[in-house]
């Protein structure tokens, strides 16, 4: 894998505490990411797309969106995105792959597109050591919103195949 991105360096241990106790959920994420098998850049991009696109569907027509919780697969997407960034792989390739994913979605008035634009801007505006975090958060946002309503994309596909 790549040389490692400084944007995802974790806080150092202090006082002999174990990491999971000291930083809770972050410790669990670190362990989950460390347990992932090594993958090439393209393999990780494909795994992220697969995890987002193949997660179980949620019928949002009968749900209060204010109480909706993400499926566990979203955490797996975050772990894969973290692995990608820690490996030091190309952030522009990651941004392009997320763009392909969010282009399917028109949930809540195209917010997926707005989220994607925001993560790209935040990535370019954020300095190390936190620079890659907006991209990890962008993967999480894409995973949360993917598949909820894709009627515009599906209509486009019908028109494309009819032409």
Task: List the chain domain ranges.
Answer: 41-162
Phi, psi of 48 (to 5 degrees): -65, -50
Residue 145's pLDDT is what?
77
Could you count the other beta carbons within 10 Å of the beta carbon of residue 152? 13
Mean pLDDT by 10 residues, the chain (163 residues): 44 47 64 94 96 77 64 87 96 94 69 83 93 92 74 65 71
Handedness of CA 157, 159, 160, 161 (dihedral sign): positive
Torsion of the alpha carbons at 99, 163, 57 and 60, rounded to the nearest 10: 90
Residue 43's pLDDT is what?
98
Tokens 């008035």 found at: 109
């Amino acid at each position: 894998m790549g040389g490692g991105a400084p944007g995802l360096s974790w806080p150092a241990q202090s006082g002999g505490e174990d990491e999971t106790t000291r930083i809770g959920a972050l410790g669990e994420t670190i362990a989950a990411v460390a347990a992932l098998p090594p993958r090439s850049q393209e393999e990780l991009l494909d795994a992220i797309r697969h995890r987002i696109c193949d997660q179980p569907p949620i019928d949002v027509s009968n749900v209060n969106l204010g109480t909706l919780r993400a499926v566990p697969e979203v955490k797996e997407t975050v772990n894969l995105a973290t692995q990608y960034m820690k490996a030091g792989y190309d952030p522009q390739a990651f941004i392009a792959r997320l763009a392909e994913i969010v282009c399917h979605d028109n949930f809540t008035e195209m917010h997926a597109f707005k989220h994607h634009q925001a993560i790209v801007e935040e990535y370019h505006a954020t300095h190390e050591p936190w620079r890659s975090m907006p991209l990890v958060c962008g993967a999480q946002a894409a995973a949360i919103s993917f598949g909820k309503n894709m009627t515009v994309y599906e209509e486009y596909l019908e028109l494309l195949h009819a032409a």
